[in-house]
Amino acid sequence: MSADIPEMDSRLERLPLTLRDLLTAHLPEPWRWIAQSLIAIAVVLAAFGLLFAFLTLIERKILGRIQNRPGPNRVGWGGILQPFADAIKMLTKEDIIPRSADPVLHYLAPVALVSFSLLSLAVIPYGRRLVALDLDSGVLYFFAASASSELAVFMAGWAGRNKYSLLAAMRALAQLISYELPLLLSLVPVVMLAGTLSPSEIVAAQSGWTFGLVPHWYALTPWGFAGFAIFMVASLAEANRSPFDLPEAESELIAGHLTEYSGFKYALFFMAEYFSMCALSGMAVTLFLGGWQSPFAALQFVPSYAWFAIKLLVLLLGFIWIRATLPRLRIDQLMRLAWKFLVPLALINLLTAAFWHLSAGWGTGAQPLRWGIALALVAVPFVLIGRRLSSGLGPRTYRYAAP
Amino acid sequence: MNTLQMCLVLSSLLFGIGLAAALARSSAILVLLGIELMLNAANLNFIAFWRFGPAPEAGTGVLFVLFAIAVAAAEAAVGLALAIALYRHQRTIRLQEATRLKG
Amino acid sequence: MNLALIILGLVILGSAATALSIRNIVRSVLLLVASWFGIAAFYLWAGAEFAAFAQALVYGGAVSMVVLFAVLLTRRGHLDVPVPPPPPGRLLWAIVAGGAVAGIIAAAAIRTPFESLNNEAPSLPVRKLGALLMGPQAAALLVTGVLLTAALLGAVVIAAGAKDDKEGAP
């Protein structure tokens, strides 16, 4: 983050940086960098903390409305203070640690999970000059942080000394490892075509509009659309969200790896799940939806961080909608989806992206052919592999009891 | 003692710890972990020489470490699969009990 | 700069030594994972960003889980997994051997006069690393790919076990 801001951005766009410089401009050099970093950390924590709080409320209201009921509406006007009521409840609950539990691991697991989820929020570019840590290999850092949080899931299941939570932790770990592969494979084409692992440069590679109307986001290309879809499904599974929420479902193995947790530690697990959901959505926005770029050239006056927030909220609302609509997958269905469906599709997507890149020089007349071939390369394997996997699970035949 | 020598001493101590663990423990998994530690110590050495040696732009040290990490991970997976297969035969992973081929 | 190195060294060596000497194998594995993260921090200190994140991702995010699964699949069904400590004779000889090797290498390192050391932090952008991997070092990349595929297939074959094994799968 540099101290000089070009004058061509609007005042609203420069607002966060102006505020930050107001607070830190008078400090001498090494202290200024430390103060700016601390401000960045505080802002990210505060923003995502508030987002987590109101996301729980928004989720419950939307789930309620989809299920034809009002959702929480007692606390505050229309239920708006519900997150604070939940926080007070979680903080005042008794923290029960089983006698034979491993106290160090029992304490460390939620802390480690939340820390790794928060660490992964550091490299996402939230605005034109608003990235907390501008690393050259930022995408790799992001996935290293989220892969390391899987260890905390194991620690949580192990620490309770409970065979059910251990078994559930192993299943959760199997799910997380299986879906790492489609997650990482679906973003390899993005890295390949952008030529860099740095998130801010990937966003910059998606700039520009055709005729001022169609942005050059990767999600609007055939391979990008397939990659985006695979990334979204895999991040649903990575964040243990429905329909992949087998690890924490109440009807399976009690509460899964969270069985032995109560009170604030339980709240920390959910905080970690929401943070990782927000982080993965943020990375999806960065990699596929053009980050903080505006979708139309005419709407560039809206500040970049507002566009990022809008896109992030759209993705999160999509996650909530999917939770309300789809039933949960069994562990074998889940693993089959990952290994036999998503991984081959992601590998074929690599070929499609390579074809797209190599045919970038085709003239305007050949563009429909290019699009046709790329769309065929995306759609045909999808239909063929999908048909093959669901063969034998034909249309349901209903037999009714004789009257 | 300049910084490079401190890094080399660190990696040799780590190597010694890994070696002692591989020699002393009798559980197959702990021996494998000792071997992993020795591989990591060698990687430390490579990065230290890359950092302080001539021509770090050539990137040879970093590339070698990347390959070593990949190979070590594959070897850990195969070694642990072997430990599981051993367990299936003798219901314990104590290496002292794997004496079927002993004369 | 040296203070950071000393702290990192203490973390790496301390957690590795503790990990390989305690009795509870699960805590041992988790301490070793902490040591691996310490090594990743060392790579970051040395300026090899890509190697640091690759180390964290591969070791902390994958090898640790393979080891934990192996620990859990090779228990006798108890929830507690104490590993017996080594007999004192063998332990002593192991420490002597490890100490001797470490001492010889460390002594050789200290006594060699290293001159013309590169002191400014090198920068190796990921793009350059990619170009090197695809160009001069492409053979190594292909060989590693074949090796990883072979290792994956081999691990699957070994761990799946013989289908007609009379013991039955655990």
- pLDDT by residue (tens digit) across C87-100? 788 889 999 999 99
Scan residues 81-100 of C and list those with Cβ closer than 8 Å to A.
none
Identify the CA nearest to C33 among candidates A29, A175, A144, B11. Answer: A144
- Average confidence (pLDDT) over B69-85: 89
Q: What is the rounded average pLDDT for all residues in chain C?
A: 85
Give the pLDDT of residue A259: 75
Identify the CA nearest to A268 among candidates A392, A390, A112. Answer: A112
Residue A194 shares a structural domain with residue A147: yes
Q: Cβ separation of B80 and C47 shorter than 8 Å?
A: no
Identify the CA nearest to A217 among candidates A292, A282, A139. Answer: A292
Residue C166's pLDDT band (cuts 50, 70, 90)? very low
Q: Cβ contacts (< 8 Å) between C145 and chain A: which residues?
A: none
Q: Write out the DSSP string of A124-183.
A: ---STT--S---TTHHHHHHHHHHHHHHHHHHHHHHTT-HHHHHHHHHHHHHHHHHHHHH
3-state secondary structure of C104: helix
Give the pLDDT of residue A224: 93
The reply to whether B72 falls in a domain is yes
Residue A58 shares a structural domain with residue A106: no
C69 contact A CB<8A = yes
Q: Cβ contacts (< 8 Å) between C50 and chain A: which residues?
A: 136-137, 140
Q: Cβ contacts (< 8 Å) between A205 and chain C: which residues?
A: none
Q: Write out the DSSP string of B53-80.
A: SS-GGG-HHHHHHHHHHHHHHHHHHHHH
- Average confidence (pLDDT) over B12-32: 92
**Cβ–Cβ < 8 Å for B73, C58:** yes
Query: Residue C61 has what DSSP assignment?
Result: I
Q: Which of A88, A108, A126 is the last residue of a domain?
A: A88
Nearest to B78 among C42, C58, C154 (CB): C154
How large a percentage of chain C has pLDDT more than 90? 40
Q: Which residues contact C170 (CB under 8 A, 6 or more apart)?
A: B87, B88, C73
Residue A80 shares a structural domain with residue A151: no
Q: Cβ separation of C13 and B93 shorter than 8 Å?
A: no
Domain count, chain B: 1
Tell me: the pLDDT tens digits for C99-115?
999 999 999 999 988 87
The reply to whether B51 falls in a domain is yes
**Cβ–Cβ < 8 Å for A320, A62:** yes
Q: Cβ separation of A154 and C68 shorter than 8 Å?
A: yes
The reply to whether B46 falls in a domain is yes
Residue C24 tokens, joined:
């509870």
> Closest Cα of chain A to C14: distance in Å?
18
Nearest to B29 among C70, C118, C151 (CB): C70
Residue A224 shares a structural domain with residue A315: yes
- Average confidence (pLDDT) over C18-41: 91
Give the pLDDT of residue C79: 56
Residue A240 shares a structural domain with residue A282: yes
Q: Cβ contacts (< 8 Å) between C28 and chain B: which residues?
A: 30, 33
The Cα–Cα gap between A150 and A272 comes to 11
C29 contact A CB<8A = no
Residue B77's pLDDT band (cuts 50, 70, 90)? confident
The reply to whether A352 falls in a domain is yes
**Cβ–Cβ < 8 Å for B31, B75:** no
Residue A174 shares a structural domain with residue A77: no
The Cα–Cα gap between B98 and B15 comes to 26
The reply to whether A290 falls in a domain is yes
Residue A61 shares a structural domain with residue A110: no
C114 contact B CB<8A = yes
Which residue reads 């190594």 in tokens?
A: C140
Q: Which of A88, A111, A132 is the last residue of a domain?
A: A88
Enter the ipTM.
Answer: 0.91
Residues in chain A where the model's pLDDT stays below 50: 1-4
Identify the CA nearest to A335 among candidates A225, A172, A155, A167. Answer: A172
Residue A66 shares a structural domain with residue A100: no
Judging contact as 3 or more Cβ pairs under 8 Å, the answer for B and A is no
Query: Residue C112 has what DSSP assignment?
Result: S
pLDDT higher than 60, residue C168 = no
- Helix axes of C25-46 and A103-119: crossing angle, nearest 10 degrees: 30
Give the pLDDT of residue C77: 65
Distance spanning both ends of chain C, measured CA to CA: 52
The reply to whether B57 falls in a domain is yes
Tell me: the pLDDT tens digits for C34-82?
999 999 999 999 988 999 999 999 999 889 998 988 888 887 766 556 7
Q: Cβ contacts (< 8 Å) between A158 and chain C: which residues?
A: 26
Q: Cβ separation of A144 and C50 shorter than 8 Å?
A: no
Q: Which chain C residue's Cα is nearest to A146? A: C61
Residue A63 shares a structural domain with residue A210: no
Q: Domain limits at B17?
A: 3-97
Give the pLDDT of residue C114: 81
**Cβ–Cβ < 8 Å for A264, A177:** no
- The reported pTM is 0.90
Residue A80 shares a structural domain with residue A108: no
The reply to whether B103 falls in a domain is no
The reply to whether A173 falls in a domain is yes
Give the pLDDT of residue C80: 58
3-state secondary structure of A248: helix
Residue C164 tokens, joined:
């007609």
Q: Cβ contacts (< 8 Å) between C43 and chain A: which residues?
A: none
Residue A248 shares a structural domain with residue A122: yes
How large a percentage of chain B has pLDDT more than 70? 99
The reply to whether A402 falls in a domain is no
The Cα–Cα gap between C117 and B7 comes to 13
**Cβ–Cβ < 8 Å for C74, C82:** no
The Cα–Cα gap between B90 and B98 comes to 8
Residue A253 shares a structural domain with residue A136: yes
Domain count, chain A: 2
Give the pLDDT of residue A1: 40
The reply to whether B58 falls in a domain is yes
Residue C22 tokens, joined:
């305690």
Give the pLDDT of residue A7: 55
Q: Domain limits at A233?
A: 93-359+373-383
B73: CATH: 1.10.287.3510
Q: Which residues contact A73 (CB under 8 A, 6 or more apart)?
A: A79
